[in-house]
Structure formats: structure tokens, C-alpha cells
Chains A and B, each alone.
Chain A
């Protein structure tokens, strides 16, 4: 489930049927994270994963069309097995594209994961420049968005 909670913040949650230690490990161990990270059809190659405050995860995502996306995450907070905070950017010296926190809560042997991302303009620009489509889709999208807004403003 995803929702826009405030200006430029998006919150995604999911309950996983696995103990919290294991879910946390799946997010912080290179041998695990490459197995699930990214949308369908993407694979991930990790070059470095150092999950400590100030440490980084450097990786490349390989898209289904062959395009490579270099990424670098720099961790600012690591509280095992409860919480991660990081700045997410591309693998160069540019500013991070967004900041995110991930929390892991025990729910009777299952684990609730909550991901909060706050996006500055650079990330938004990069995504949207690629994605601005024709106006044709607008009516359909608007109907969906109106529904979404109605839920949000309740």
C-alpha cells in the first residue's frame, strides 16, 4: 500500500510473514537483497554493502531492456533490527535524490515494514522527464487520482 502523506513524502507498508530479524537481514545483507530488490524483470549487482552509519550500498540495477542504473545509498542510521535511514543517490558525487527511512515492527512473529521516502526536486525531475506522456491518458489517470484524493481527504 502506498500513500502520499505530506508534501513530497510517500509511505509504503507491507506485513511479511517472517520474523523481524530475518526481514531486517533481507534489507541489509548483500546476499539477500539482490534476490528481491527492484520491480519485476530487474536484477541487481552489489559492489559494496557496508550497513553502518556513514557506510554505503553501491549497486547497479539492470533493467529488462538492458539499461543499467547506478545507485548509491549512504546510511545515516542503523538500529538493528528496527530501523534504517539512508540517503539514496546515483553513484557519483551529486546530491542524494531522496531520503528514506525503513522501520521494522514485530507483529506476533510477522513483520510490518514501513518505508517513508521524502523526495526533493531532482528525483522528481529525473522520473518525470522520462514519464510525461501524451494527454490522452489524462482522463483515465484523473479518474484514478480523483478516487485517490477522495480517499485521502476523508
Chain B
């Protein structure tokens, strides 16, 4: 696994049309025409998006079948998901701890104020 591939995956995922294409392919392989159908863009534009996705290793195009279907590839997505998960955990757990901590110190402050009175 190298950093360039993960960067390429992130760049590929940054575009909403490409995320739409991946979501479509998550339900099964499809031809370029089928992929293009729900989008209001030209076939060459779809092909350009597919090339970015293929370069990032996110999809694979069959060489055998005449209609050259596109297929989702899981591995780079897993790398990204793992990485996001790691990052998410760091902040979710830090923020959980901060929430508790803020509660504690506010309680303590209240007590101090109470004693002074």
C-alpha cells in the first residue's frame, strides 16, 4: 500500500459524480451506457470519470466481454475506510472524554462558588 494510491483514492472520491458511479456499481457491474443513464452528462465525460476511478484502482473494466462492463474493486475503498475509521475513532473518543471532563470541572467550579458564599 503506498501513499500515492490512497491520495488517488481520496481524489477520486472527492467528486460527487464519481461517488454516484461507485454507488451504482456497488449494486453490480454495468456498461458505460448504463452508468451514464442517471447522470446529465455526456458519454465522453462519463468515460473520463471512469478513467479516474480505474487509475485509482477503484473499478476494473473487463477486457473479455464485448460490452466491457465496469466492476467495483473493494481493496482501495477498504484502505480509505480503515483510515477514516482510525481518524474518526481518535476524535470521537477524544470528544467523548472532553465531554466528561467539561462536566466534571464545571461541577467542581460550582462547588467552589458554593463554598465561598
A22 at the interface (CB under 8 A from B): yes
Q: Looking at the assembled complex, report how far the CB atom of B110 sits from the nearest CB atom of chain A, in whole angstroms.
A: 12
The answer to whether A8 touches B103, judged by C-beta atoms less than 8 angstroms apart, is no
The answer to whether A132 touches B26, judged by C-beta atoms less than 8 angstroms apart, is no
What residues of chain B lie closer than 8 Å to A127, measured between beta carbons? 83, 86-87
Residues in A106-154 with C-beta less than 8 Å from chain B: 113, 115, 117, 121-122, 124-125, 127-129, 131-133, 135, 137-139, 141-142, 144-146, 148-150, 152-153
What residues of chain A lie closer than 8 Å to B98, measured between beta carbons? 16, 23, 26, 36
Question: How distant is the Cα of A152 from the Cα of B102 in the complex, in angstroms?
Answer: 32
The answer to whether A17 touches B102, judged by C-beta atoms less than 8 angstroms apart, is yes
What residues of chain A lie closer than 8 Å to B82, measured between beta carbons? 128, 131-133, 141
How many chain A residues sit at the interface, stated as a range, is 35 or more
Q: Looking at the assembled complex, report how far the CB atom of B92 sits from the nearest CB atom of chain A, in whole angstroms.
A: 7
A45 at the interface (CB under 8 A from B): no
**Further contacts, 13 of them, CB under 8 A, given A124-B7, A149-B13:** A4-B13, A7-B14, A14-B99, A18-B102, A26-B101, A32-B105, A36-B98, A125-B3, A129-B1, A131-B83, A131-B86, A135-B78, A146-B22
Cross-chain pairs A/B with CB under 8 angstroms, 17 sampled: A6-B14, A14-B99, A16-B98, A17-B103, A35-B97, A39-B93, A121-B4, A121-B6, A125-B3, A128-B82, A129-B1, A135-B78, A141-B74, A141-B77, A142-B26, A146-B23, A149-B22
